[in-house]
Amino acid sequence: MALAARTLALWADAYALGACDSPRRVGERLWRINSARGEVAVKQFDAAANDAALHEALLLQRLAAPTDARYRVPTLLRTAAGEAVLTGPWGVVLLTRWEAGEFKHYDQFTAPDWAALGRALAALHLRLENLALPALVTLRATLRALDFAAEQQTIETDRAHLACGAGIDRLRLHRYLDERLRLLEQCMHTCLENFPDDDPQWPIHNDYNQYNYLFAAAAPPLILDWEAAIGAPREFEVVRCLNHLPLERPAMARMFLSAYLRERPLRAARLPWAVDTACLMHALKHWVLRGWLAGRSGSAVALQGAMQIVPMLAARREQLAEFFVRAVEAGGG
């Protein structure tokens, strides 16, 4: 869908962009615009996501100054009136400078890449300590709000619609749903019961994965898309970021952890809880299968990945927790 000329003119005026070329859509909600101020990225939110847009803007502002050699984040652009986001009939927009770089699939990451990502995450966690954001969702509140029976029913409802899809082995799909139910049953109640009571739940990125890293030569990774930020223990983000990597490529996972631990500590005693909570998040990922059933672009790739990861986590959850505990106690090595 093309961007309305009037909308572009309003954005350009509000941000004093000067003359702009025709915008290019590069994502569901992302536009790339060449302006007199240089290339900019425009992220467009609907009106209901105002808090997410504002949180992302505040986080980028906090993380940008003073600069840190261990990571990079997009440079936030303010309106001519000094506003961090712009609200109008289009919803909410957030502008940053367009950044060049390379996206990679996680299995293409080199050892130095993993080390750089671990170092960057630790530095980001340090910078975000003691930052209180208004109306920030916390992990504890999210877990408390879950309804076990409703989540079970959602998975079974999706199972009933499997006949509507094609192109993926239905037996594997049923196994995938069985394993999600297994993770749900094993992890849901213990995640809340064992939640670290003394954790202040400072902000985390909450989507620190291959789709949000931009690599450039001789530079730390650029960390994109902070709109999903929540308040949560740091151990949860470390485990969720590495996901099943310790089971597939333990040496690379140790590189990440060693680099992280050189910058800030992790509590080994929290890691079994963090593994269970990260596994629970996989059980709750209804959008993966639903996107495939709806025929959304790219959904088959996401579903294939989920069908590989979820059975692995369900079968080897205790092994994964043991890896993290031992690696952290050994300083990552």
| CA atoms of 119 and 127, how far apart (whole Å) | 12
| CA atoms of 20 and 253, how far apart (whole Å) | 44
Q: Following DSSP, what letter does each residue of 149-160 receive, concatenated?
A: HHHHHHHHHHHH
The one-digit pLDDT tens for each residue of the chain (333 residues) are 578 889 999 999 999 999 999 899 998 899 999 999 999 999 999 988 999 999 999 999 999 989 999 999 999 999 999 999 999 998 999 999 999 999 999 999 999 999 999 999 999 999 999 999 999 999 999 999 999 999 999 999 999 888 655 567 888 999 999 999 999 999 999 999 999 999 999 999 999 999 999 999 888 999 999 999 999 999 999 999 999 999 999 999 999 999 999 999 999 999 999 999 999 999 999 999 999 988 888 888 999 999 999 999 999 999 999 999 999 999 877
DSSP state of 85: S
Q: Which CATH class name applies to 5-97?
A: alpha beta
| CA atoms of 165 and 288, how far apart (whole Å) | 13
| CA atoms of 89 and 254, how far apart (whole Å) | 48
β 203-204/24-25 pair status: unpaired
Tell me what pLDDT residue 298 has.
Answer: 84
Burial class (CB in 10 A: 0-12, 13-18, 19+), 259: buried
Q: What's the 3-state SS for 181-193? A: HHHHHHHHHHHHH
- Domain parsing of the chain, residue ranges: 5-97, 111-329
Tell me what pLDDT residue 332 has.
Answer: 75
Tell me what pLDDT residue 1 has.
Answer: 56
What is the residue whose two structure tokens read 């003394």? 198
CA 205 from chain center: how many Å?
6
At 80, list the tokens: 């001519």
Q: Specify whether the CB–CB gap between 64 and 73 falls below 8 A.
A: yes
Question: What distances in angstroms separate CA 174 from CA 171, 186, 238, 256, 313, one per listed residue?
Answer: 5, 18, 30, 34, 16
At 16, list the tokens: 């004093």
CA 325 from chain center: how many Å?
23
Q: Following DSSP, what letter does each residue of 235-292 receive, concatenated?
A: HHHHHHHHTTHHHH-HHHHHHHHHHHHHHS---GGGHHHHHHHHHHHHHT-HHHHHHH
What is the residue whose two structure tokens read 């050994």? 330
Query: Phi then psi for 180, rounded to 5 degrees?
Result: -65, -40
One of 3.40.1350.10, 3.40.50.300, 3.60.10.10, 3.90.1200.10 is the CATH number of 111-329, namely 3.90.1200.10
Residues 6+ apart with CB under 8 A from 153: none
- Same fold? 5-97, 111-329: no
At 4, list the tokens: 């309305």
